[in-house]
Amino acid sequence: MNSKNILLLIAAFLFLASCSKFSKVLKSKDYEYKLQMANTYYGKKKLRQAQMLYEELFPIFKGTPDFETLYFNYANCAYEQRDYAMAESLFKGFQEMFPNSAKSEEVQFLESYTYYKQSPKPELEQSNTNKAIGMMQTFINTHIGSAKNKEAQEIIDKLVRKLEQKELKSAELYFNLGQYKAAAIAFTSLINNYPDSPTSDSYKLMIIKSFYNYANMSIEEKKAERFSKVISEVHDFQDRFPESKLLKEAEKFLTISLNSTK
């Protein structure tokens, strides 16, 4: 038998021994012993075993001095195993049951973090994203000076960029479908909602392009009025982004629109 097979046999033996030991713990009626073993498994990062024991012991130790630690560990088992929906519910329950806990700050951050981890791709519905932003901001406001505030702010910034990306995709879709008036409105909303975005000038250029295409496709009686809107938007671009690399491109639409209104 080669060394690889020997190692596999040893691993299998240890696994079976571990399972046998855990089975004995599960069958035990000594709840203090079970709690001790749950904490041991938790400390060794054997989270599935710890979680199963904590789940059984949850109603038994409720109201006892051990319950707060049991509750936190149980919630953290779900969190560490990336069951964020369950962790969210447990962390929320922990705060309601132990509002004055020494772990309140940590638990509030972790609950907020579960919403962050459940935030979906930009193209999907973003209720968890908005919830995470609100909760992280509440954390910062509530725990002034916390060591976690920098991370909380970084998460907020990241999630705001995701919401911005979602709005951008929607505006671009209108433009690509040739719905130029709707695109202009969507890009205007985008630049108003995210005025500090580093790509605000590109959004403004898209507003100009959208209004230009909308004017160009209009009936003759409407063109002069609609090209004047393009001219107005280019002037606004010049005022707001005088150093933009996109300024020359924006000004091309000024020249065309001025000629079209003559």
Query: Which tokens go with 201?
Result: 């000038």
* Residue 208 within a domain: yes
Rounded to an integer, what distance in angstroms lies between the CA atom of residue 147 and that of residue 145? 6
* Residue 63 within a domain: no
Question: What total of structural domains would you count in the chain?
Answer: 1
Contact by Cβ (8 Å): 253, 209: yes
* Residue 69 within a domain: no
| pLDDT value of position 44 | 96
In the predicted structure, residue 7 carries a pLDDT above the cut 80 = no
In the predicted structure, residue 9 carries a pLDDT above the cut 50 = no
* Residue 212 within a domain: yes
* Residue 240 within a domain: yes
Crossing angle of helices 67-80 and 47-61, rounded to 10°: 150
* Residue 204 within a domain: yes
* Residue 195 within a domain: yes
pLDDT tens, residue by residue, 119-171: 999 888 999 999 999 999 999 999 999 999 999 999 999 999 999 999 999 99
* Residue 205 within a domain: yes
| pLDDT value of position 149 | 97
pLDDT tens, residue by residue, 47-89: 999 999 999 999 999 999 999 999 999 999 999 999 999 999 9
Amino acid type, 4:
K
In DSSP notation, 157-221 reads HHHHHHHHHHHHHHHHHHHHTT-HHHHHHHHHHHHHH-TT-TTHHHHHHHHHHHHHHHHHTS-HH
Q: What is the domain range of residue 192?
A: 178-262
